[in-house]
Chains A and B, each alone.
Chain A
Amino acid sequence: MKSRPPVGAHLVPSMVSRGEMSAEEYIASMFERIGRLDSSIHAYLQLDRDGALSKARALDHRARRGERLGKLAGMGVAVKDIICVRSLQATCGSKILEGFVPPYSATAIQRIEREDGIVLGKTNLDEFGMGNTTQNSAFGPTLNPWDLARVPGGSSGGSAAAVAAGMASVALGSDTGGSIRCPASFCSVVGLKPTYGRVSRYGLIPYANSLEQIGPMGREAEGVSLLFEAIAGHDPQDATSSPEPVRPLSAGGIEGLRVGRIKEFFGEGAQPKVKEKVMDGCERLETLGAKAGETSIASLPYSLAVYYIIAMAEASSNLSRYDGVRYGLSVEKGAADWNTAFAKTRSEGFGEEVKRRILLGTFVLSAGYYEAYYVRAQKVRELLTREFALALKKFDVLLGPTMPVLPPKVGEKVTPLEDYLIDINTVAANLTGLPAISIPCGFVDGLPVGMQLIAPRFREDLLLKVAIAFGKEQGLESPPLGEAA
């Protein structure tokens, strides 16, 4: 059996449909890689080997009978363990949900399965999506395939590491403040955070509802684009999903595309070598025909504070349901009343970072503080949205480094505040609801650097077009996993 999935993910469906490749063999090769590599990377929390292989067999059978297969036929999809897949445990990386098996699949999963995509398993994450390292998981950290001493980014670190290491064709992540783009950047893969309302959130276990979206990740933009088109579109089960039609990818290059570098994204906090690499990437876009310029978003310095206030406020409410009464962990021992049982369950079930955010969120919503924090944060959010809309009149897409830093070392001691600061470039897209993508942009000291692009609402097609063009120019490198590439 081959050690590496033989083809680009996006080529799999047509090859499987035409009978040129066996879906079963392809999926089996992926589980073979997982078996060989994941003990050191720990991208997956749970595998569905039997389910995946039997679906693959069924696809091969249908292909032989000449049946028409779906657009994702045979693609192996890794799913962040915060997205519900019927009859697979959903933990959110938390002890409090251990053993919880949802009786329903997220709309995104239903759509993937309708297009004959195959769920391989559930991937690791920072507990409830709260973090940017995938070290805050109750089930142990995920490591970066490019350097096992480094973090893969987060919170969708398991999904990013899985696709980077060829342990999945593509993956689903979720992005509340950068949770798709950060690990995409650190693991040198493509990660798209769609426009708010573009992909149904039904079945996404919420961290901060008004900010987050499910989105696709993959080594190449073509595969990401296929997965995006499968999951995007209106869903009556999500009142915030948009009826706006999904724009298909248009043919042609990026000649004349107006690219605006956001001055603040290249600020003092960013590592110089990272900034240089992204400037370099911008120049390469120009060689492909784009026209680059610079712009400024005055309110950007406030975006982190605004983000953390809103995200924590919503989180404190979303996480109230984990009280041990109906599902998940329940610690009743020694509790004489339900209030004590709730407290014991939550004290034992949640990790430190989750507790910190619940406490801060509870505080900002409290009587007397609500106006000063939450209401004011929403006002700045509106201001930021207007400023971005204005900038996007002058430019087709806005550009900057996805992460201002290279992937940090595992176990590096940082304060929570220092940790929050590296989200400075990603949170704005969530606050404004704009679509944003992180594209591999080369390496500094052997470590991946990601370039972020932001587009107007519902213009994922623009981002994907740039990513495809840039990816062809950039070429594909594979992480050093002790094997021939």
Chain B
Amino acid sequence: MQTESGLKVKIGLEVHCQLTALRTKLFCTCSSDYRSSEPNEKICPVCFGLPGTLPVLNAKAVEYATMIALALNCTVANRSVFYRKNYFYPDLPKGFQISQYDKAGGVAIASGGEVEVGGKRVRITRIQLEEDPGKLTYEGTIDKSTYSLVDYNRAGIALVEIVTEPDIEDAREAKVFLEKLRSIIESLGVSNGELDGAMRCDANISLAGGARVEVKNISSFKEVEKALNYEILRQRTFSGNASSETRHWDERRSITIALRSKEEEQDYRYFPEPDLRPIVLEPAAIASVQRAMPEVVDARASRYANEFGLSKQLAKELAANKDLSAFFEECAKLGQGHQEMAGLIVGELSARPLPAAGALPPEDFAALVKMIETSAITRAQAKEALREGLRTGHRVVDVVKQKNLSAVVDERAIAALIDRVVAARPGALEEARGDKKSFSYLVGQVLKEEPKAQPGVVAKLLAQRLHGK
């Protein structure tokens, strides 16, 4: 995209995703469920970095990282290694982070993938497995605080870092990409992106030819768009002459603050972690992960289109939501009218919190759709029953009975309706003869007169009228 000042924006993202579905941390047996804990409660000698302790790799974490890699169309390495990233920071118990690296002889667990976002590809550079550091709490803000408190509960939590090429061109596109990424990862069941801090993001932003600025500490995807827009605006005021540096996103004040220039960039002194053996994944092991892993969004969408004959758009919208997809599949087993079913689910159920288990049995939903399909009720009536049922907790099939919902299918009654509507709109019939839009408008007007009228019957009779029958 060209900005107002004509400078092309390039954005690359580094997404850190906690594997929240793991029960334990990456290198020890501490519980990974730290969010409801008191500070420094979920720690042991290993993740607290006591001297003499050794890391033992969580095999499940490797499996989950492999699933993410495959879902993002990456090539999974048959042999990858852990490296130490050395730096001093109070939240880093060992003085180094066990991570992976793609230089200095290092190989990350996966590389070279891509994600399709709104018809364009965002290339994935690499995926690596690493441990989360602890967490600092500052008094006030990072630049003014006189002390900080350290909580090591988060230290050692398994993270997957996903690095993209600078293929993203504006803040909105970054947000769409991240939402897609989250829905893919959630559909794998390896991480719950809703949890606070489970998905975090650093961004590299440059305006054509200008220096690359890294923005760190973007704690949620909601903040990404704000942070990027701020940073693009900031750099634009420098006409692309921003200096190469690392900046910190201050969520409270919604600005980025300079942390350090690239000239004083830390040298992390990467070298292979001697306490861990390489991760070896034979092709057969990768294939078995692939076979066993849940479907990802894109694959699910195309399956819905092929298997259930859903329109492409609807299939995509449905597949993007894991819970709705699961509900749809339950219902789909119980009856026909899949397009209707999917439309009703996406249209009525995605906007509100999902009904609690049991509140809307798939049997009832399928029965409701069958009523539409058999013209027993209209779609509008089905929606009415659904809303009423979810509001009151009554079964939707009972609501239909109680409210006496039924479609008017009596052709004579509908013909009379049509007469009335046409009479009130001189010339409308003539317009509708050659124009679909005007035809639909007329159908709509009839339904407005009598909402219970079965739209199919209305359309049929109206068409007959046009052709003079």
Residues of chain A at the chain B interface (Cβ within 8 Å)? 83-84, 90, 92, 97, 100, 102-104, 106, 201-206, 208-210, 236-240, 313-314, 316-317, 319-323, 325-327, 338-339, 342, 362, 365-367, 370-371, 374-375
Contact = CB atoms under 8 A, between A and B. Distances in A.
Interface stretch (B87-95, B196-204, B326-334): B87-95
Nearest to B147: A338
B146 to A, nearest CB: 9
A339 B277 CA distance: 32
Given A320-B96, A365-B271, A236 B56 contact: yes
Contact of B104 (A202, A362, A370): A370
A321 B275 contact: no
B54 A323 contact: no
B118 interface: no
Contacts of A366: 267, 269
Nearest to A201: B54
Interface in B93-122: 93-96, 104-105
Given A339-B88, A370-B104, A202 B52 contact: yes
B306 interface: no
B48 interface: yes
Contact of B274 (A104, A203, A209, A319): A209
A317 B95 contact: yes
Given A203-B53, A206-B51, A320-B95, 18 more contacts: A90-B51, A102-B51, A103-B50, A104-B50, A104-B53, A106-B52, A209-B275, A316-B86, A319-B95, A321-B51, A325-B90, A325-B150, A338-B90, A365-B86, A365-B269, A366-B267, A370-B104, A371-B104
A370 B274 contact: no
B54 A313 contact: no
B84 interface: yes
Interface string B43-77: 00100111111111100000000000000000000
A331 to B, nearest CB: 15
11 contacts: A103-B45, A104-B45, A204-B52, A205-B52, A209-B275, A316-B269, A317-B84, A317-B269, A322-B95, A326-B48, A365-B269
A321 B133 CA distance: 13
B52 A90 contact: yes
Given A320-B86, A362-B269, A239 B275 contact: yes
Contacts of B267: 366-367
Interface residues of B, number: 31
B276 interface: yes
A320 B94 contact: yes
A102 B270 CA distance: 28
Nearest to A325: B90
Nearest to B43: A326
Interface in B408-453: none
A205 B148 CA distance: 29
Given A206-B51, A323-B95, A370-B104, A317 B56 contact: no
B271 A370 contact: yes
Interface string B248-273: 00000000000000000001011100
A239 B50 contact: no
B278 to A, nearest CB: 10
Nearest to A361: B269
B271 A239 contact: no
Contact of A206 (B52, B86, B88, B270): B52
A237 B274 contact: no
A367 B269 CA distance: 7
A363 B54 CA distance: 25
Query: Chain A: interface secondary structure?
Result: loop
A321 B274 contact: no
A314 B52 contact: no
Contact of B50 (A83, A102, A208, A325): A102
Nearest to B104: A370
Contacts of B52: 83-84, 90, 102, 104, 106, 202-206
A321 B54 contact: no
A239 B53 CA distance: 11
B95 A239 contact: no
A370 B86 CA distance: 14
Contacts of A206: 51-52, 275
Nearest to A212: B274
B274 A210 contact: yes
A106 B54 CA distance: 11
Nearest to B94: A321
A327 B277 contact: no
A204 B54 CA distance: 9
A479 B57 CA distance: 48
B51 A205 contact: yes
A237 B54 contact: yes
Contacts of A104: 45, 50, 52-53
Nearest to A338: B90
Contacts of B274: 208-210, 240, 314
Nearest to B105: A375
Contacts of B276: 239-240
Nearest to A83: B52
Contacts of B277: 239-240
The 5 A-B pairs of least Cβ separation, nearest first, read A320-B95, A365-B269, A210-B274, A209-B274, A205-B51
Contacts of B51: 84, 90, 92, 97, 100, 102, 205-206, 321-322
B26 to A, nearest CB: 13
B54 A238 contact: yes
Contacts of B94: 320-321
Contacts of A202: 52-54
User: Which of A92, A238, A327, A367 is most buried by chain B, counting CB atoms within 10 A of its CB?
Assistant: A367
A237 B276 CA distance: 11
Interface in B301-340: none
A374 B56 CA distance: 25
A201 B53 CA distance: 8
A313 B88 contact: no
A374 B106 CA distance: 14
Contacts of B84: 317
A167 to B, nearest CB: 25
B310 to A, nearest CB: 48
A316 B55 CA distance: 18
Contacts of A83: 52
B271 A321 contact: no
B268 to A, nearest CB: 9
Nearest to A320: B95
Contact of A317 (B53, B55, B93, B96): B96
Contacts of B48: 326
Given A327-B50, A375-B105, A239 B57 contact: yes
B427 to A, nearest CB: 80
Contacts of B53: 104, 202-203
Contacts of A326: 48-50, 93
Contacts of B90: 323, 325, 338
A255 to B, nearest CB: 39
A234 B57 CA distance: 16
A374 B86 contact: no
